[in-house]
Chain A
Amino acid sequence: MTAEATAGLENSALAIAAAGPRPWSLPRPDWRPLLLGLGLPVAAALAWEALVRSGLATGRLLPPPSRIAVTLWKLARTGELWPHVGATSGRVGLGFVLGGVAGILSGLAASYSPLFRRLVDPTLQGLRAIPSLAWVPLFLLWLGIFETSKVALIAVGVFFPVYLGVMGAVLGVDRKLVEVGRIHRLSGLDLARRILLPAILPALVVALRTGLGLGWMFVVAAEYMGASEGIGYLLVDGQQLGKPDQIIAAILVFALLGKVADAAIVALATPALRWQDAYQGGR
């Protein structure tokens, strides 16, 4: 039976009683926490702007927000920014997919098979202990100075947190829930799909977010050591030409891209995680 068919079965069983709220409907967004979170950076930016405008600071090395905004606007309007955004996002996206898939598969294999774990895990843990930036010269030698070495570096960065997260999550799945699957005589694949995967989903999302965060970190390193395109290139260019506003503009673009990508993962995962009975913060 295909995954869709079974999902359909479960949805139809779910639809038999109309009473009560539908568990999979999206909640109305609450903007107040977002506004609260914006308070500190906005206040700091306004204060710096005021200091520079009033002549108390020159703003030569740290330009005021208005000048950075103008730089960013120019980069965007002339169209200069977009190839850089595209190149960097493409590298991170590809590296994330490659490293993420490899991490999920190895994590599943390592948790499912004790033999695989004993054979492979010590080596992977050893490799993980190497600061990933140490790979850079080797990757440049092996894979050349173009895209392949950059994507490979990002994939390595993404791989380890995903691998560790998935393995730890599967090994932490409640044995009692696995027994429910066994008593219903689920095959290995059905057990993975109907019990293990939903059970590790919260941890998987965290692992993917961590991995993606590292992906953004590594793309900078990759672009720093020789690229003619990418946000990292804008950083290097800004440093060499003494344009702090361009550096900060590039940093802001990184922050924005990272935040958007992270929010996308969260938004995709939220409907599937509404069942969680977890600590919400506060008391």
Chain B
Amino acid sequence: MSVALEISGLAKTYPNGQRALGGIDLTVPAGEILAIVGGSGCGKSTLLRLIAGLETPSAGLVRVGGDLVGGPHPAVGLVFQEPRLLPWLSVADNVGFGLAALAAGERAARVGTALERVGLTAHANAWPRELSGGQAQRAALARALVTRPQVLLLDEPFSALDALTRTTLQDHLLELWAFERPTLVLVTHDIEEALVLADRVVTLRPRPGRVDDIQAVVLSRPRDRDSHNFEVHKRRLRAALNQSLAPDTLASDSLTAAAL
């Protein structure tokens, strides 16, 4: 299987001296769904921003499909924690934001398909303010997928939604993924979300962030959140997360409590 994303020796130290990431090595094959979990301050969002090219690493490198990342890459899409739709564009124009270089007809067709896939065809001409939180995040997914990225990064994309919408959108994300099977890298603090979606789950250890544990999820899709096997995976991942938070931190107890 070809490699979609290659991360080696990736480190980030902020100008104030804070070490966010202390050397990350990861190889993600094409079409894989990789989840990254960890307690707060483990640098998981920083890792995603480095892959997206929104920040520059202090050391190490990121390759997407063999290209060295030195800024936002055309084959990489990013969905933020908030929808970040542009309030002055209709939903359709938001979805088509990244397609400005295409001819009008082609663009409209691609936007139409994307809206249909996320079930927002009826809201194409609505303003972003008229959407619910779940609808807005679906529009954001459509905007990121319409450019057909090889790698889609998701930064806690469902954490601001209510539990029911969150579950629905997790299943919906898998449906969308099945169309073109891009590589997904998902940052989350939700163990269940990681296990429902991912092929592998990476646990980061904080201060500075580094890979502590990688677990394969050997459950067939669609995954039953209530099955015994799912419970076993959950227990195993929770143990890994606890382990990652345990020693060399002062506030480990409170962090553990927060992560659970």
Q: In the complex, are the beta carbons of A20 and B126 less than 8 A apart?
A: yes
Tell me the residues in window 79-109 of chain B with beta carbons closer than 8 Å to chain A beta carbons.
Answer: 80, 82, 84, 86-90, 92-93, 95-102, 104-105, 107-108
User: Which chain B positions have C-beta within 8 A of A194?
Assistant: 97, 100
User: Which chain B positions have C-beta within 8 A of A274?
Assistant: 127
Q: In the complex, are the beta carbons of A185 and B107 less than 8 A apart?
A: no
Q: In the complex, are the beta carbons of A16 and B108 less than 8 A apart?
A: yes
Tell me the residues in window 51-86 of chain B with beta carbons closer than 8 Å to chain A beta carbons.
Answer: 52, 54, 71-72, 74, 77-78, 80, 82, 84, 86
Q: In the complex, are the beta carbons of B97 and A184 less than 8 A apart?
A: yes
B111 interface residue (CB < 8 Å to A): yes
User: Which chain B positions have C-beta within 8 A of A22?
Assistant: 125
Closest to A186 in B: B100
Q: In the complex, are the beta carbons of B84 and A177 less than 8 A apart?
A: yes
B122 interface residue (CB < 8 Å to A): yes
Q: Measured between alpha carbons, how far is A195 from B104 in the docked complex, in Å? A: 20
Q: Measured between alpha carbons, how far is A159 from B93 in the docked complex, in Å? A: 34
Chain A residues bordering chain B, tally (CB within 8 A): 35
User: Which chain B positions have C-beta within 8 A of A15?
Assistant: 108
Do A13 and B125 contact each other (CB < 8 Å), given the known contacts A176-B82, A276-B87? no
User: Which chain A positions have C-beta within 8 A of B98?
Assistant: 184
B112 interface residue (CB < 8 Å to A): yes
Q: Measured between alpha carbons, how far is A182 from B55 in the docked complex, in Å? A: 11
Q: Measured between alpha carbons, how far is A247 from B179 in the docked complex, in Å? A: 75
Q: In the complex, are the beta carbons of B78 and A20 less than 8 A apart?
A: no
Do A182 and B72 contact each other (CB < 8 Å), given the known contacts A6-B100, A201-B88? yes
B115 interface residue (CB < 8 Å to A): yes
A21 interface residue (CB < 8 Å to B): yes
Q: In the complex, are the beta carbons of A13 and B54 less than 8 A apart?
A: no
Q: In the complex, are the beta carbons of A198 and B125 less than 8 A apart?
A: no
Taking the closest CB of chain B, its distance from the CB of A99, in whole angstroms, is: 26
Taking the closest CB of chain A, its distance from the CB of B229, in whole angstroms, is: 37
A4 interface residue (CB < 8 Å to B): no
Do A23 and B127 contact each other (CB < 8 Å), given the known contacts A12-B108, A180-B97, A195-B86? yes
User: Which chain B positions have C-beta within 8 A of A14?
Assistant: 90, 92-93, 124-125
User: Which chain A positions have C-beta within 8 A of B90?
Assistant: 14, 23
Chain B residues bordering chain A, tally (CB within 8 A): 41
B121 interface residue (CB < 8 Å to A): yes
A8 interface residue (CB < 8 Å to B): yes
Q: In the complex, are the beta carbons of A13 and B86 less than 8 A apart?
A: no
User: Which chain A positions have C-beta within 8 A of B80?
Assistant: 176, 179
Q: In the complex, are the beta carbons of B104 and A183 less than 8 A apart?
A: no
Q: In the complex, are the beta carbons of A9 and B78 less than 8 A apart?
A: no
Q: In the complex, are the beta carbons of B108 and A275 less than 8 A apart?
A: no
Closest to A9 in B: B104
User: Which chain A positions have C-beta within 8 A of B108?
Assistant: 12-13, 15-16
Which one of A1, A23, A176 has the highest number of Cβ atoms from chain B below 10 Å of its Cβ? A23
A80 interface residue (CB < 8 Å to B): no
Contact of B71 among A1, A8, A185, A275 (CB under 8 A): A185
Q: In the complex, are the beta carbons of B72 and A185 less than 8 A apart?
A: yes
Closest to A18 in B: B125
Closest to B105 in A: A12
User: Which chain B positions have C-beta within 8 A of A13?
Assistant: 92-93, 95-96, 99, 104, 107-108, 111
Contact of A17 among B92, B102, B104 (CB under 8 A): B92
Taking the closest CB of chain A, its distance from the CB of B86, in whole angstroms, is: 6
Q: Measured between alpha carbons, how far is A187 from B215 in the docked complex, in Å? A: 40
Closest to B125 in A: A20
Q: In the complex, are the beta carbons of A19 and B127 less than 8 A apart?
A: no
Q: Annotate B167-198 by CB proximity to A: 1 below 8 A, 0 otherwise.
A: 00000000000000000000000000000000
User: Which chain B positions have C-beta within 8 A of A16?
Assistant: 92, 108, 111-112, 124
A-B residue pairs, 3 tightest by C-beta: A17-B124, A277-B129, A12-B104
Other than the known A13-B108, A19-B121, A275-B129, what 14 A-B pairs have Cβ atoms closer than 8 Å?
A6-B100, A9-B100, A13-B95, A13-B104, A13-B107, A14-B125, A16-B111, A17-B121, A17-B122, A19-B124, A180-B84, A183-B52, A183-B78, A275-B128
Interchain Cβ contacts under 8 Å between A and B, 17 examples? A9-B100, A10-B96, A10-B100, A12-B107, A13-B93, A13-B96, A16-B108, A17-B121, A19-B121, A19-B125, A21-B125, A23-B90, A177-B86, A184-B98, A272-B88, A275-B88, A275-B129
Binding site for B on A (CB under 8 A): 1, 6, 8-10, 12-17, 19-23, 176-177, 179-180, 182-185, 190, 194-195, 198-199, 201, 272, 274-277
